Chain A
């Protein structure tokens, strides 16, 4: 390859949750780590998120959820990705994710689950080390 390959990350806020400070901090941290970060803004439906993944072809997707709707929305997103044969993208969800929900989300192929207080370095390393391609 001629140029150094860039890691492309999509940061999303699924559902009706209106607080995106955390998502913006994550986006900024990943950018400062040399990645190309797309931020989609608030209130994304699973369809919108999957459509964006389909068009932007990111290496990783970071879902930020504080609303408690993760068990409802995450499986739908994963299912729709499957329908579109997208299986080489790292999908992570973070924000407020109770410990007892993690096995359920893991079963659906999600990773990460970082919450408040996580060091940004940890998240950057997580993305770098868990890419599927």
Chain B
């Protein structure tokens, strides 16, 4: 299929073309390849903000308020909201727009809901591609809202320039604050719903956790293992109220500060290198998995291996090694 017409419209700033192209990259991986190939040289101008946090922490409302401020500054904004797909039915209920009503009619704001379609990590397979489409569309800022779950939805760390994590007062005890995962990928912590009691306690918890991390970092540096890409950034903490917009001015200053930090020589380049690496790895994984699945589902040799494993004359690790050889991937 030829997408050049749609792509031309996209580059001319046509919103409908954006919507169509995102649908295509969501539904069809081959279309995604062609489209990204055609628009890639037009990307790289947008600043990508990742917003994550547990369900109910106020991500959508937060984004709505942030968007309103950026929109009044005359910026063009793209928003992608990822929600989970039901593992049982394959269906999904995407409700993030409910909280973003105020921005529905703004001409410079493009909001797109996306189901994760079973992908782990907090994003959908097509999220990265959709970000590129919005980038080529001319968005100054692209905000990505991850699925609101748990402590390990950390893929956003690889896709966004600045990762903002939302926490709420009174959620979880102090131990929650030192768990691995989300807490470690954060550039800016926002204690949302600051009017609730316990906001200052939450800030103290985070500060304590960060201090521990600083000590670890020192230890790693000693043994020469410090290769974290944003290693010299000390995460900022701010409390805010997404409904009233209280403290958002400060928050935006912190985002700008992180942006400035990244643009200093070396850091952004390192970041980009890592991003390209991880993205390519993701694509390769997808392709290889597909190939392997195809092979395993219809191959008499594999059936033979499976029988051997059932007879206990072969174990799954050895079988996997044989398949690697068969694929010529050794």
Across the interface, A55 reaches (CB within 8 A) one of B26, B28, B90, B112, namely B112
- Cα A45 to Cα B28 in complex, Å, equals 33
Q: Which residues of the partner chain B approach A86 to less than 8 Å between Cβ atoms?
A: 16
- Cα A44 to Cα B94 in complex, Å, equals 16
A1 touching B28, Cβ below 8 Å? yes
Min CB–CB distance B161 → chain A (angstroms):
23
- Cα A30 to Cα B19 in complex, Å, equals 22
Interface residues of A in 1-55 (CB under 8 A from B): 1-6, 8, 27-28, 30-41, 43-45, 47-48, 51-52, 54-55
- Cα A111 to Cα B27 in complex, Å, equals 26
**Nearest 9 A-B pairs (CB), nearest first?**
A41-B98, A31-B91, A57-B19, A48-B104, A2-B29, A34-B90, A38-B94, A36-B92, A57-B23
Q: Which residues of the partner chain B approach A6 to less than 8 Å between Cβ atoms?
A: 26-27, 90, 115, 117
Q: Can you list 6 residue pairs at the A/B interface with Cβ under 8 Å?
A: A1-B28, A31-B86, A36-B115, A37-B94, A43-B101, A57-B20
Closest to B110 in A: A55
Across the interface, A54 reaches (CB within 8 A) one of B19, B30, B85, B97, namely B19
Q: Which residues of the partner chain B approach A48 to less than 8 Å between Cβ atoms?
A: 101, 104-105
Min CB–CB distance B85 → chain A (angstroms):
8
Is A119 among interface residues, defined by CB-CB distance under 8 A?
Answer: no
Is A67 among interface residues, defined by CB-CB distance under 8 A?
Answer: no
Across the interface, A36 reaches (CB within 8 A) one of B22, B91, B98, namely B91
Is B43 among interface residues, defined by CB-CB distance under 8 A?
Answer: no
Closest to B28 in A: A1
Q: Which residues of the partner chain A approach B101 to less than 8 Å between Cβ atoms?
A: 40-41, 43, 48
Across the interface, A3 reaches (CB within 8 A) one of B27, B86, B92, B105, namely B27
Is B95 among interface residues, defined by CB-CB distance under 8 A?
Answer: yes
B29 touching A51, Cβ below 8 Å? no
Given that A2-B29, A3-B28 are known contacts, is A31 also in contact with B93, CB under 8 Å in the complex?
Answer: yes
Closest to A7 in B: B91
- Identify whether the interface residues of B are mostly helix, strand, loop, or mixed: mixed
Residues of A within 8 A of B (CB): 1-6, 8, 27-28, 30-41, 43-45, 47-48, 51-52, 54-57, 84-86
Interface residues of B in 80-104 (CB under 8 A from A): 85-86, 89-95, 97-98, 101, 104
A56 touching B91, Cβ below 8 Å? no
A35 touching B91, Cβ below 8 Å? yes
- Cα A28 to Cα B93 in complex, Å, equals 7
- Cα A8 to Cα B277 in complex, Å, equals 32
- Cα A44 to Cα B30 in complex, Å, equals 36
Residues of B within 8 A of A (CB): 15-16, 18-20, 22-23, 26-30, 85-86, 89-95, 97-98, 101, 104-105, 110-113, 115, 117, 290
A1 touching B27, Cβ below 8 Å? yes
Min CB–CB distance A6 → chain B (angstroms):
7
B19 touching A39, Cβ below 8 Å? no
A57 touching B22, Cβ below 8 Å? yes
Q: Which residues of the partner chain A approach B95 to less than 8 Å between Cβ atoms?
A: 38-39, 41
Min CB–CB distance A129 → chain B (angstroms):
18
Closest to A57 in B: B19
Given that A33-B91, A86-B16 are known contacts, is A56 also in contact with B112, CB under 8 Å in the complex?
Answer: yes
Min CB–CB distance B8 → chain A (angstroms):
16
Min CB–CB distance B34 → chain A (angstroms):
13
B93 touching A27, Cβ below 8 Å? yes
B86 touching A5, Cβ below 8 Å? no
B91 touching A30, Cβ below 8 Å? yes
Closest to A41 in B: B98
B104 touching A51, Cβ below 8 Å? yes
Min CB–CB distance B129 → chain A (angstroms):
13
- Cα A33 to Cα B98 in complex, Å, equals 22
B27 touching A52, Cβ below 8 Å? no
Q: Which residues of the partner chain A approach B290 to less than 8 Å between Cβ atoms?
A: 2
Across the interface, B29 reaches (CB within 8 A) one of A3, A36, A37, A39, namely A3
Q: Which residues of the partner chain B approach A39 to less than 8 Å between Cβ atoms?
A: 93-95, 97-98
